[in-house]
Amino acid sequence: MTTVPLRRAVLLVLREKAEVVHSDSTGAVLHSSTMAFSVPSVIRLLRYIRVPYRRRIPLTRVALMRRDGYHCAYCDRRAETIDHVIPRSRGGQHVWENVVAACRSCNHRKADRLLEELGWKLRVTPTVPRGIHWRLINGDHHTDPLWAPYMARVKV
């Protein structure tokens, strides 16, 4: 199970590389000059083909909190904020390897200082998450209800 843009899903069906399992619940129909076509919501590939995807998982708040399990990287309490390990004001980048979930208190105490300056240590090394389920997490906000039974098979 993976998600693909609608345009790609339609092309896969038109090229007979996939079949429609569920049409879109809104009953939307696409029209071309020669045919009408129910908007697919779930398609099944008829044979394995590689579905290309962006190599790097987009860094979002939701995805970061999932990666770190809502645990503060410094004290393990519940995290509500995003902390740049090397502060942006000190040249730190907004990338997976430099962001961690942090509680408000640690984030506030750390401010724009480096860990060495505070004598703090990270509980975990921040890394780029890998695996197809990370793409689904970022799609949470526009998940079609019809996808639920398929999504359930993906361990998130």
User: In sequence order, which residues have a C-beta less than 8 Å from that of residue 31 and are 6 or more positions away?
Assistant: 37
Measured from the CB of residue 2, what is the shortest distance to Zn ion in angstroms? Answer: 35
Instruction: Count Cβ atoms within 10 A of the Cβ of residue 61 and give its class: 0-12 exposed, 13-18 middle, 19 or more buried.
Output: exposed
Distance of CA 149 to CAs 15, 40, 42, 133, 154, Å? 26, 16, 11, 15, 10
Decide: is 72 part of the binding site for Zn ion (CB under 5 A).
yes
Decide: is 20 part of the binding site for Zn ion (CB under 5 A).
no
Residue pointed to by tokens 């990370």: 134
Total binding residues toward Zn ion, as defined by CB under 5 A? 5
Decide: is 18 part of the binding site for Zn ion (CB under 5 A).
no
N residues, the chain = 156
Category of 122 on φ-ψ map: left (φ > 0), alpha (ψ -120 to 50) or beta: beta
Decide: is 74 part of the binding site for Zn ion (CB under 5 A).
yes
Point out which span in 31-39, 67-75, 112-120, 135-143 binds Zn ion (CB under 5 A).
67-75
Report which DSSP code applies to 90.
G
Decide: is 12 part of the binding site for Zn ion (CB under 5 A).
no
Looking at beta carbons only, is 9 or 106 nearer to Zn ion?
Answer: 106
Decide: is 106 part of the binding site for Zn ion (CB under 5 A).
yes
Answer for which of 13, 103, 136, 137 binds Zn ion (CB under 5 A) is 103
Decide: is 73 part of the binding site for Zn ion (CB under 5 A).
no
Decide: is 85 part of the binding site for Zn ion (CB under 5 A).
no
Measured from the CB of residue 82, what is the shortest distance to Zn ion in angstroms? Answer: 13
Euclidean distance between CA atoms 18 and 47, whole angstroms: 8
By the criterion CB under 5 A, which residues form the site for Zn ion? 72, 74-75, 103, 106
